[in-house]
Structure 1
């Protein structure tokens, strides 16, 4: 097998583009990435339930535009709304202490 020299560390790429872990720019990137991932999980679960954004919004007491912005990762819902969304989609949140 031929050795590949073009494979590098993803952390090194992030360090170069956004700064080291703990820097404001890297922290902001991390927050945005998490918001995007959560939005995609909500979008996928909503579609799996064959529910429109409007239907989800009505169930949780908000509007379609707000659900759309959450799904795109533009905004993060507050904790109360997040749990209402999770419940409306038939999901559950499990909070566990990491094993070290």
Structure 2
């Protein structure tokens, strides 16, 4: 049996890096990771979506949309959300 790398599997399923289909998959994967990170930190802080929303001046539905990957969140909003959770985030450009 031939060994297959994760990159080879992604290439086969979504196309090579830089193709439209692969880029769309990568964007969805990044949104999912961000959503899970936000949800994890919110739960660790012991806050409901509604409590977090009230704390940062937005609506519960917006927090829900972010956590479910249904909205592109602005960087300024992301900083505000994590600040409301007592966290700091940093941005790395690679």
Shared fold (TM-score, shorter chain, > 0.5) = yes
Deviations 1:9-64 (A, max 9, x none): 11111111111000011011111100110010000000000000001111122111
Superposition CA RMSD, Å: 1.5
Task: Report which of the two structures shows the higher radius of gyration computed on alpha carbons.
Answer: 1
Q: How many aligned residue pairs are there?
A: 94
Q: What residue number does 1:95 align with?
A: 91
Unaligned runs of 5+ in 2: none
**Structure 1 77/97 Cα, relative in aligned 2: closer, same or farther at 3 Å?**
closer
Could you list the structure 1 runs, at least 4 aligned residues long, displaced by more than 4 angstroms after superposition: none
Instruction: Please give the per-residue CA displacement for 1:72-98, whole angstroms capped at 9, x wherever unaligned.
Output: 122221112111001001111223566
Structure number with higher relative contact order (C-alpha < 8 Å, ≥ 6 residues apart): 1
